Amino acid sequence: MNKFKQFKVERISNSNYEALLSDSRNVFYSKDQSGWIKFLERYSNASRYKEIQFCSLEVNKKVIASCTLIKSELNINGELVPFYFLTQVITAIGFRGKGFFRELLEKVEAFVLNSGVSILIVIARRAVSDLYWKLGFNGFSHFPVYTKKFFGDVNILEFFRPAVEGDLSNLHLSHLRSNQLSNSKIIRSETDWQRILNEQASGKHKILLLRNSLNRNYLITRDNRVIELSSYGSTKDYEEFFLKVQHCFSILDIGNNHPVSRYLDAKKWTYSERFEPREGHLLKIIGPISQKIECYLGESKEQFGKYRLEISEVDQW
């Protein structure tokens, strides 16, 4: 049999995304129709303003390995650095364990480099993260962070109070109905919230609510950094909440798509990226980068690039 092998790259658009991503349905969403619909909606919306490429390795015109590449930027100390986010990596059943995963990534890296981009980032499932490490990826996770330029001492408890057992139902409700899912990784059950409330005693994090009992928004801090922020209720409710958060805290580890970003005065706040070690969050430099960025990432790599830590249950997107 003539095994003609070909690597193909096709731009994902609003007219072809469902056909190109059909293998993702079979692998990741075969038992989750609602998840598949939401997945398609994300790609349909993103394809209008982002460059998304579908990369495939074919044998005799049959796709045996594929992935998608989403082009984006890191903001590192004020310098915008382009990167490709690698996701939906799939090797067809019957072709696994034969080196096609490695070959696909080699072709992808060559494409990325030819596109003038030098950084690849992936969030890998535990089952395949070992392969990425063997292929030269290191443990990084980048998160947006807003930092207040000038900040004085503020009595946080004047405006906020710690969450208690009686707040459990309200926390669960505001999380479920909050805009952008409160920038949390997961939709939590009341049992999850109970555990988080109990863990406050360790001092690792705190759940705070406004002293205004009618406003049900919450925030979660770790070392006085805000790592989760809800936006529940009317616009008036979460605007009041955001105003108090800006007044009381100087560091918001919140994604730039969170609604609070629309209320931050650029004259008072700076936006950048931070890096942390996370299990499954991986980065690889495949080409030339500026000396400033190389130094920054080099220091991060020395600090924690070889360590593989668990994702915290309390974390942001």
Name the phi and psi angles at 53, rounded to 5.
Answer: -115, 140
105 and 181 assigned to the same domain = no
Pair (161, 285) in one structural domain: no
pLDDT number for residue 73: 82
- Higher-scoring residue by pLDDT: 114, 200: 114
pTM: 0.58
pLDDT-derived band at 3, boundaries 50, 70, 90: low
Distance, CA of 302 to CA of 305 (rounded, Å): 6
Whether 23 and 110 map to the same domain: the answer is: yes
Same domain, 136 and 9: yes
The answer to whether residue 309 is domain-embedded is: no
Residue 313 included in any domain: no
Give the helix/strand (H/E) hosting 193: helix 190-199
Whether 11 is in a domain gets the answer: yes
pLDDT at 178: 85
Residues 215 and 98 in one domain: no
| Same domain as 100, residue 168 | no
Of the listed ranges 173-177, 221-225, 252-256, the one predicted with least confidence: 252-256
Within-domain flag for 310:
no
| Same-domain pairing of 268 and 293 | no
Is residue 172 domain-resident? Answer: yes
Identify whether 134 is part of a domain: yes
Residue count of the chain: 317
In-domain check, residue 49: yes
The residue among 273, 291, 312 that closes a domain is 273
For residue 165, the domain's CATH number is 3.40.630
**Same structural domain, 34 and 182:** no
DSSP output for 100-134: HHHHHHHHHHHHHHHTT--EEEEE--HHHHHHHHH
What integer pLDDT is reported at residue 142 of this predicted model?
Answer: 59
pLDDT for 49 beyond 50: yes
Q: Name residues whose C-beta falls within 8 Å of residue 276's C-beta, 6 or more positions apart in sequence.
A: 140, 141, 143, 304
Domain match, 132 and 29 both: yes
Count up the domains in the chain and report the number: 2
Task: State the residue range of the domain holding 73.
Answer: 5-140+277-304
Whether 59 and 121 map to the same domain: the answer is yes
For residues 33 and 128, membership in a common domain is answered with yes
- Confidence tier at 181 by pLDDT (50, 70, 90): low
Asked if 168 and 283 sit in the same domain, the reply is: no
Interatomic CA distance for residues 259 and 239, integer angstroms: 10
Average pLDDT on 123-140 reads 79
Poorest-pLDDT segment among 41-50, 147-156, 190-199, 292-301: 292-301
Q: Which residue has the higher pLDDT, 255 or 145?
A: 145
